[in-house]
Amino acid sequence: MTRFFTLVLSLFLAASLASLAWCKESKKPLKVIAPDLIVESFDFGEFPDGPKDQPASKERFHSTSLTHGGFIGYRIKLKTDRKTVKLSHKIGSFRGSGPESAMKHKTDAIVPIDNGVICNKWVITAGYPRGKYWVKVWLEGKALPAVSYTIK
């Protein structure tokens, strides 16, 4: 009887440990730029605190792909010990001459990294053209997957 109980308990513990390992979320990084620069996420959204000038890691951010305007932009979460990174971005519209219709281009800016976070925000005011837009970002010259959003 003791052998049976020990066997059942061993099987139960083995199954429990296996299920814990299976349930553990192993999040794959979005992009590995360099061994010391890993992009965990790149999201578009709204910055409800508006024009406050504060560190990127302190910015409140609500990820969304649909906005009515206000302070919008993107947030990039990084796994790195670097203090700065070279960043370029391009913002465009799906209207008019296709998705390559760039409206704004910012090249090779050295931006600070605050506790693994980079934020870039801008304001959309009343009267701004509604529709679908995209943002493309390059870190250290390597492209991240583009994100799109809609202004209602």
Residue from 40, 61, 43, 66 nearest 147 by CA:
43
Euclidean distance between CA atoms 31 and 141, whole angstroms = 13
- The full set of domain ranges for the chain reads 27-151
Tokens of 97: 């001459």
Q: What is the CATH number of domain 27-151?
A: 2.60.40.1930
Digit-by-digit pLDDT tens for the chain (152 residues) are 666 556 555 655 555 545 544 444 557 999 999 999 999 999 999 999 998 889 999 999 999 999 999 999 999 999 999 999 999 999 888 875 544 555 655 667 999 999 999 999 999 998 889 999 999 999 999 999 999 999 99
Q: What is the pTM of this model?
A: 0.77
- Over residues 39-64, the pLDDT tens digits come to 999 999 999 999 888 999 999 999 99
State CA 73 to chain mean position distance: 11
Q: Position of tokens 């066997």? A: 7
Tokens of 47: 């910055």
Euclidean distance between CA atoms 150 and 126, whole angstroms = 15
